[in-house]
Amino acid sequence: MSVEVKGLKQLEKELEQRFGREKMQQVSDKALKDGAKVFVKELKAQVRTFSDGVGHSTGGTYEEITISDPVTVGGSRTVKVHWRGPKGSYRIIHLNEWGTVNNPNPAGKGAIATALRNAESAYRKAIKQAIERGI
């Protein structure tokens, strides 16, 4: 299902004229950060189920989830949710998400995809609320 919104460019232009480009970018950045926090909360809930320090787990997959500062990529403001920390968990995230030949179904398989699905409506709500507060 897709939706086509007409007049979006005009709306953006009018908002920038009323509030200024800098103010609109601040509002956008705050909304992105709020939305990312909602997603990270759900992601941590999903990751917690298999990253509990039992067995070979060091807990790095849970502890090292990080939100980047907003940046412009391809003309759009963006934040990244990634793994950064001393345990180097970024190296194994894809193995937990997709599995390997020797272990095709690890305990955390699909945790990121599940978090994306579960947090979608809460993410949109957080973005909407942040924009409403900012304007």
pLDDT tens digits, 28-42: 999 999 999 999 999
Does 116 reside within a domain? yes
- Per-residue pLDDT band at 1 (split at 50, 70, 90): low
Residue 7 resides in a domain: no
| Domain coverage including residue 74 | 20-134
pLDDT at 122: 93
* β-bridge partners, 82: 66
For the whole model, what pTM was predicted? 0.82
**Measured distance CA(56)–CA(109) in Å, rounded:** 16
**What was the pLDDT predicted at 52?**
58
- Residue 3 located in a structural domain: no
Q: Name the band, by pLDDT with cuts 50, 70 and 90, for residue 54.
A: low
Q: Which two tokens stand for residue 115?
A: 């978090």
Judge whether 44 lies within some domain. Answer: yes
Task: Answer yes or no: is 8 within a domain.
Answer: no
Q: How would residue 74 be classed by pLDDT, with cut points 50, 70 and 90?
A: very high
Quick check: is 68 in a domain? yes
Q: Is residue 127 part of a domain?
A: yes
Total domain count, the chain: 1
51 lies in some domain = yes
